[in-house]
Structure 1
Amino acid sequence: MTASEVAGSDWSSTELDLIVADYFAMLKEEQAGQIVHKTEHRRRLKAHVQRSDGSIEFKHRNISAVLTRLGLPIIRGYIPAWNFQGAIAEAIGRYLEIDSDPVPLTISQPLMGFADAPSLFESAPPAAPPISPRARTAFERVARKFDPALRDQLNRSLGFAGEQLIYEREKQILINGDRKDLARKVRWVSQEDGDGAGYDIRSYDKSGAERWIEVKTTRGGSTTPFYLTRNENEVAKERPDAFRLYRLHDFSRQPGLFTLTPPLDAVLQLEALTFQASLK
């Protein structure tokens, strides 16, 4: 088949499987700190996929879009292109059937203080990304099977590392603001008292007002969904003056942070996903 015969046609399942596998190969290299030779990857891919450079790059951006919604890291430079088709989501689903955790997070030594922490980029909360109606059904089928919120929730090392970063950061902010007295009072509640408080860290602003911080951490992008427990939501309603939800994202690369304040249902779409069941 010639390139001219392929131009303008839909990608086949075989082609999509090949480009998805190539994308994850590059992603693993990047996450391991290696230099990614995108041109060489594309050259090898074109030996099996007769598509133009522009078509291949755009498909890589489609893959980035799906991975962003699945809460997985993406390759630098491949900015998500949201008008993807359901077939690319299905191809990613097939890949994840074989390798369900393709870029596992590795946690290094525990932080000894804020000086050891990675730099943290703080921004405003993002807008929800669009997904075309024709791609939504295929994407949601993959998302249910490889639930990014559940994966993050069950990853204890990820949650611990995110809370530790915020704990050290809160103390340092108070120290820098000449409130060492308050910095000494900051408590990592979820570690000292357990998870029942409805928040993870008790901190303060410079005036001495309490801040009850719930930390949600993901390796994925800023729009990755997350779980909010009933207890956390109730605490946010009862103490909107104190409660703050810190969303840490892109944690395996360059961590970013945005903050949400109550009422949470004004900024989050909350869906009931489970029920407590008991015998009648």
Structure 2
Amino acid sequence: MPKESKPRQKWSEKEVQLIINDYFAMLLAEIQNWSYDKTEHRNLLIPQLSDRSKGSVEFKHQNISAILVEQGLPYIDGYKPRGNYQKLLVEGVEEYLNNNPHLMKLFDTSPVLNPTQSKKIDSSNINRIIEAPPEKIISPKPSVKPWLSRKGKRINFAERDAVNRKLGSLGEKFVFELEQHRLKLAGRDDLAQKVIWASKEYGDGLGFDILSFDEQTESERMLEVKSTGLGKYFPFFLTQNELLCSEDIPEQFQLYRVFDFGRSPRIFILNGSLRSLCNLDPVLYRATL
């Protein structure tokens, strides 16, 4: 008879605490741009756990990333957010953050998360800058009632990115120059000269930031730029005009998500209607009487 596999045991409180401590030790190193080794961390952690596999530890680290992303907080770039996590893990992360309030100051002042200088483009390596977009991450939304719990939110770094005009301008400049390089490499110097930094030339509120061109058809492309010093899976904010622009001209609209801007900027591109491509949560309303 085939040997029956043992049912997986839920992680204990002690194990959860150990892996949370390990995760934040790595996250602290990452935001300070210190070198560290994920494999070494995992190998030191596993003997302290109750017969957990490397895959199980990896998945738990990814669970912690998902919890932090949902709270608008930095996460370890190498651990893709994964849902389906236990309540004990959420409570453990919350307790760790409550017990270590200094982390918010470290996040807020990290040079990695707060880039202040423009980045040069190596025109010979444009293909390395552009990556495939991530798949949608669908996870149950936590039932949060701060009016009952009396727990206010910490710094939301997605919101901060949205109002950081310096970062926004640096990201737009990066994409503007990238488009010029791309068209020149395609032998279209004529089109490269026509690329317009629209939000700078015409002002905000257009629904896009950069006016560029398709190198073959010469048709216009409207590029909206969203920049962050954080990772690929970090959320971003949209305005109503940006959403409507993506729906009105989906064939021409492209969202350029610039991420990891403080270290090695990369981009993924979303083509078309953002309503169909993204999970949208209403977080702000304009009220009139």
Give the TM-score range, shorter chain: 0.7 to 0.9
What 5-or-longer segments of structure 1 have no aligned partner?
1-6
How has the CA–CA distance of structure 1 residues 51 and 253 changed in structure 2, closer, same or farther, with 3 Å as cutoff? farther
| Equivalent AA in structure 1 for residue 104 of structure 2 | S
RMSD: 3.8
Q: Distance in 2 between matches of 1:240 and 1:15?
A: 48
For residues 164-204 of structure 1, give each alpha carbon's deviation from its aligned partner in whole angstroms, at most 9, with x where no partner exists: 22111100011111111221221222233331222111111
For residues 3-30 of structure 1, give each alpha carbon's deviation from its aligned partner in whole angstroms, at most 9, with x where no partner exists: xxxx946432x76455434322222323
Q: Distance in 1 between matches of 2:119 and 2:35?
A: 27
Give the SS at the match of 1:128. coil
How has the CA–CA distance of structure 1 residues 192 and 21 changed in structure 2, closer, same or farther, with 3 Å as cutoff? farther
For residues 64-84 of structure 1, give each alpha carbon's deviation from its aligned partner in whole angstroms, at most 9, with x where no partner exists: 3333544634153x4545332
- 1:201-216 equivalences under 5 Å are 201-206=210-215, 207-216=217-226
Give the one of 263, 268, 274 matched to 1:258. Answer: 268
Count of residue correspondences:
266
Answer yes or no: is 1:239 the counterpart of 2:226. no
Answer yes or no: is 1:137 the counterpart of 2:142. yes
What 5-or-longer segments of structure 2 have no aligned partner?
1-7
| Equivalent AA in structure 1 for residue 25 of structure 2 | A
Q: Distance in 2 between matches of 1:108 and 1:143?
A: 29
Answer yes or no: is 1:126 the counterpart of 2:134. yes
- The match for 1:86 is 87
Give the one of 67, 71, 74 matched to 1:72. Answer: 74
Answer yes or no: is 1:165 the counterpart of 2:174. yes
Q: Distance in 1 between matches of 2:218 and 2:145?
A: 44
Q: Distance in 1 between matches of 2:69 and 2:263?
A: 14
Give the one of 182, 201, 221 matched to 2:191. Answer: 182
Q: Distance in 1 between matches of 2:279 and 2:87?
A: 23
Q: Distance in 1 between matches of 2:244 and 2:138?
A: 30
> Taking structure 1 as the reference length, what is the TM-score of the superposition?
0.74
How has the CA–CA distance of structure 1 residues 102 and 262 changed in structure 2, closer, same or farther, with 3 Å as cutoff? same
Q: Distance in 2 between matches of 1:183 and 1:221?
A: 29
> Taking structure 2 as the reference length, what is the TM-score of the superposition?
0.72
Contact 1:24 1:102 in 2 (8 A): no
Q: Distance in 1 between matches of 2:51 and 2:164?
A: 39
Q: How high is the sequence identity, in percent, across the aligned residues?
A: 36
